[in-house]
Structure formats: structure tokens, C-alpha cells
């Protein structure tokens, strides 16, 4: 999707008097949309490389030799985060203090990329405008793993109790966990 999204089209940031950064008003809604499959300007991440690997391998992969896991490093230890006023910026959000239980299970984090437009309005922008522009912050690393390791990875992750049910905790996710275990791991 090649669109920028207004965060608060009726307010300029310097006019906002609510004491809260404007995107927070919509953050819960954006997380809800993202977690239920609707496109949103949020990128979702996990603190766990094991959970990231599960999501990379959980669906059967067609027409690919490798899966990708992306690691986001907000800032290199010992360095602060900075930039020019109005330049694109990535903000990290931790929803676990007030969100759905699956955010805890998935060790969820989210990022938004924003910039100021010519009128001083804060707009969502593409993360690509920020990633890897500065070697000390907002670094994106891509790790690829052969698809042929899928069954082995899913079995090991299952041994660590990382599966669809433990991450989503619904009846649908329980059925998917059983299907992966019986049809992929045990028959694979």
C-alpha cells in the first residue's frame, strides 16, 4: 500500500493539549486491526527469536527456498536516539501493560514510522524511509533459514511450548496446533 495515513488530520502536534502523544489515542484500535489481519501502519515484532521463527515457519511455504526473520535494533547500546525535527522517525510501542493476553504470550512490540508533512501534521510513513539510515539506530537485519528446516524447527519450537495455541489461546489456534503437530510434524 503506497499511502500515508493522517494520524490526527484536525490537529497540529504543537496545538495538541491532551498531554498524550496523539497516536496513543488510536494505538489500541490500530493494534486491534493489526492483530485481526487488517492492514495498518503498525509493524508487529516480538522480543523472542523463537516466537519470530515460529511465525516464519507456521504456515506451509510455497514457491520459496528460504523464510526470513527480521531483527529490529532500535539503538545500539551506549548511544541515544536522535534525528532532525520533522525527519521520519520510528517509535516503539509496548502494548503489554494494557492489551489482550496474547500480547503477553507473543512478547509483542510494535513500531510506527511517522514524519511531519509540509503543514506540520504528523503522518504515518513507510518504515523503509528510516531503516538503516543511521548505523547506530533503527537498524534492520534480515536472517534467512532454509524452508527445508521447517519440520525440524516446528518440532523444536513445540518442545519449547511455542505453538499457535500458546501464542493465540483460542479454539481455532488449538485446532491449528493439532493440525501442525499431526499433519506436518508427525507425518513430515
pLDDT in tens, 132-146: 777 778 888 899 999
**pLDDT of 2-57, one tens digit each?**
455 444 444 444 443 333 344 455 677 778 788 788 888 888 899 999 999 999 99
Tell whether 51 is covered by a domain: yes
Q: Is the pLDDT of residue 124 over 80?
A: yes
Q: Specify the pTM.
A: 0.77
Domain coverage including residue 106: 13-148
- Helix H or strand E segment including 113: strand 108-116
131 inside domain: yes
Tell me how many domains the chain contains.
Answer: 1
3 falls within a domain:
no
Residue 168 falls inside a structural domain: no
User: In the predicted model, is pLDDT for residue 155 greater than 50?
Assistant: yes
The pLDDT value recorded for residue 87 is 79
Contact by Cβ (8 Å): 56, 123: no
CB within 8 A of 48, min separation 6: which ones? Answer: 107
Q: What is the pLDDT of residue 168?
A: 93
The CA R_g of the chain, rounded to the nearest whole Å, is 19
Residue 2 counted as domain residue: no
pLDDT at 97: 59
Q: Is residue 134 in some structural domain?
A: yes
CA–centroid distance for 171 within its chain:
23
Average pLDDT over residues 153-172: 96
Is residue 169 one of the residues assigned to a domain?
no
Mean pLDDT within 145-166 = 97
Maximal CA-CA distance, the chain: 61
Band of the pLDDT at 152, cuts 50, 70, 90? Answer: very high
**182 belongs to a structural domain:** no
| Grid cell locating 157 | 519450537
Predicted local distance difference test score (pLDDT) of residue 154: 97
What mean pLDDT do residues 111-115 have?
86
Report pLDDT for 91. Answer: 85
pLDDT tens-digit series, residues 54-106: 999 999 989 999 999 999 988 877 767 777 777 788 888 876 656 678 888 99
Amino acid at each position: 500500500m503506497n499511502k500515508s495515513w493522517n494520524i490526527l488530520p484536525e490537529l497540529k502536534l504543537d496545538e495538541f493539549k491532551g498531554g498524550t502523544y496523539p497516536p496513543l489515542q488510536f494505538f489500541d484500535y490500530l493494534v486491534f486491526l493489526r492483530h485481526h489481519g487488517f492492514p495498518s501502519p503498525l509493524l508487529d515484532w516480538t522480543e523472542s527469536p523463537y516466537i519470530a521463527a515460529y511465525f516464519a515457519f507456521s504456515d506451509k511455504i510455497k514457491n520459496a527456498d528460504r523464510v526470513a526473520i527480521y531483527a529490529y535494533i532500535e539503538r545500539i547500546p551506549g548511544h541515544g536516539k536522535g534525528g532532525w525535527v520533522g525527519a521520519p522517525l520510528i517509535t516503539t510501542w509496548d502494548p503489554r501493560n494494557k492489551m489482550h493476553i496474547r500480547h503477553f504470550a507473543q512478547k509483542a512490540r510494535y513500531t510506527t514510522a511517522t514524519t511531519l508533512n509540509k503543514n506540520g501534521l504528523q503522518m504515518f510513513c513507510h518504515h523503509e524511509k528510516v531503516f538503516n539510515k543511521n548505523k547506530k539506530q533503527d537498524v534492520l537485519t534480515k536472517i534467512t533459514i532454509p524452508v527445508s528446516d521447517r519440520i525440524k524447527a516446528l518440532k523444536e519450537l513445540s518442545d519449547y511450548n511455542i505453538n499457535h495455541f500458546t501464542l493465540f489461546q483460542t479454539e481455532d489456534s488449538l485446532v491449528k496446533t493439532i493440525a501442525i503437530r499431526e499433519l506436518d510434524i508427525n507425518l513430515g
